[in-house]
Amino acid sequence: MTSELPADGSPTPKDETGPEACRETIPHTQPPPGRWLYESIAPNLVQAQRVERVLHSSKTPYQEIMVVDSACFGRALALDGRIQSTEADEFVYHEALVHPAMIAHPGPGSVFIAGGGEGATAREALSHQTVDRVVMVDLDEEVVDVCRKFLPNHHRGAFDDHRLELHHQDAFEYLAAADRRFDVALIDVPDPIEGGPAHRLYTREFYALVRRRLTDDGMIAVHAGPTGPTLHSLCFSAVVNTIADVFPVVRAAEAFVPAFGSMWGFALGSLGPDPLSMTPDEIDRRLARRLRTDLRFYDGPAHLGMFSLPKYLRRALEAETRVVTRRNPLFVV
């Protein structure tokens, strides 16, 4: 709705209270012309980006899928209306999720991935020369098929790597039935939305199951939601505290992912190696020895920055008491 202005340019007199007053008197409340994708970042915060083209839109038994070309971030995947990754900045998210755990581990050979439908998490794990097997379990086969077709710059051929073993089933059920053990587990699933497919994978029960499927020096890495000053309590601090209830070593980190509208949190749990025990120089040496590709975000100095949390986050983690369970799940709006 566009406000009507009198001839002198001053706002039309209106009731000066209530939401209608805000819409009429605050300028620029309408987006510029074009088609816009709106995403709820938090209950009181919405981010919008202009869409140039919708390449795919469908609904599966589990979720709604959309692939768009956006003016700001390039090609993007959205599930249930939430951006999962974009071509412009996916490298930040995926490198931040994968490499701190992979580099901290003395020699990861087997990797488990929950989710990761774009194939980019597998891409980063497979870049390590020590890796001989990656088991990727994504519930929604249609998501993976859509990403194979429309997101080639995300997966970059990872689905064709002979070391990748792909399963389409619930990750919880897969691990419960599996007799395999893994060096690193990477949890790259959608946000825990009520009624969505992923909320069980944010619980203590799932993290305990992952622990039982890890090797003696095994590690888990998860994305844990926004970490902004008004957003960290939505998911981040509860997830970190839940992992701390299961693993003897837990470290939290963050990185800025512009398409997510906030600094974004990550949590690492370990049965042995401490991600903070490595110097930046040692990280760079390990990267040079192990990786087949050149990274764009992660290196020794970036690692130090990721794990140097601001004071408000450190205090929030110290004060957090929630442990997410199947009986007391965590949902984001």
User: Any idea which residues carry the catalytic annotation?
Assistant: 188
Q: What secondary structure letter does DSSP report for 16?
A: S
For residue 97, the one-letter residue type is L
- Where do the DSSP E strands lie in 123-248? 133-137, 164-167, 182-188, 214-226
131 and 163 Cβ atoms separated by less than 8 Å? yes
88 and 258 Cβ atoms separated by less than 8 Å? yes
Rounded to an integer, what distance in angstroms lies between the CA atom of residue 207 and that of residue 172? 10
Tokens of 324: 């997410």
Rounded to an integer, what distance in angstroms lies between the CA atom of residue 253 and that of residue 100? 10
284 and 304 Cβ atoms separated by less than 8 Å? no
> How far, CA to CA in Å, does 75 sit from each of 287, 292, 302?
28, 25, 26
Contact residues for 146 (Cβ-Cβ < 8 A; gap 6+): 56, 58, 65, 67, 77
Structural Rg of the chain based on CA atoms: 21
Phi-psi region of 61 (alpha: psi -120 to 50; beta: other; left: phi over 0): alpha
Q: Which helix (H) or strand (E) holds 257?
A: strand 249-257
For residue 57, the one-letter residue type is S
Q: Which helix (H) or strand (E) holds 270?
A: strand 262-270
**Partner residues linked to 270 by β-bridges:** 219, 249
Burial class (CB in 10 A: 0-12, 13-18, 19+), 237: buried
128 and 290 Cβ atoms separated by less than 8 Å? yes
